[in-house]
Amino acid sequence: MQRGKFITFEGSEGCGKSTQIHRLVEALRERGLDPVLTREPGGTVIGEKIRHLLQYDSEAARLTAESELLLFAASRAQLVRELILPALEAGRWVVADRFLDSTTIYQGVGRGLDPEAVRRINAFAVGPARPDLTILLDLDAATGHARAVRASGAK
């Protein structure tokens, strides 16, 4: 059986990732494929618990940059081994809303962590799973933020 393909989408909030991911998944389905759709952090039961901690737990604001990086890596390691690699080995296409590039930027650059340390931790977390294609959607921050606020229904 031929190995599946792994496509990741990267970009800031409000840049249109969800829209483009939905369009790609629908196009793949129209071609008779059954793609696996996932997101980061999350995508597995453990990953979703880590996502909840990172996004909604009031104590998350106290996380050090290193702890935050390691939590993202833990979620990713679980996702790769539980979902991504088995799907690829079964010949399925995997479409991911974010992957290791986001950690490189948000936790690495954004939190001022050593780039080599971030690279090594990312490499350990993903093992042999590397995207066949990464699509980066670029949009100025002000427009992206305004779109994200509108989408959330916040005022």
For residue range 61-101, what is the model confidence (pLDDT) as tens digits?
Answer: 999 999 999 999 999 999 999 999 999 999 999 999 999 99
pLDDT at position 150 is: 80
Distance between CA 90 and CA 38 in Å, rounded? 16
pTM: predicted TM-score of the whole model, two decimal places: 0.90
**118 has a pLDDT exceeding 90:** yes
Q: Cα–Cα distance between 50 and 67 in angstroms, integer? A: 12
Inform me whether the pLDDT recorded for 37 exceeds 70: yes
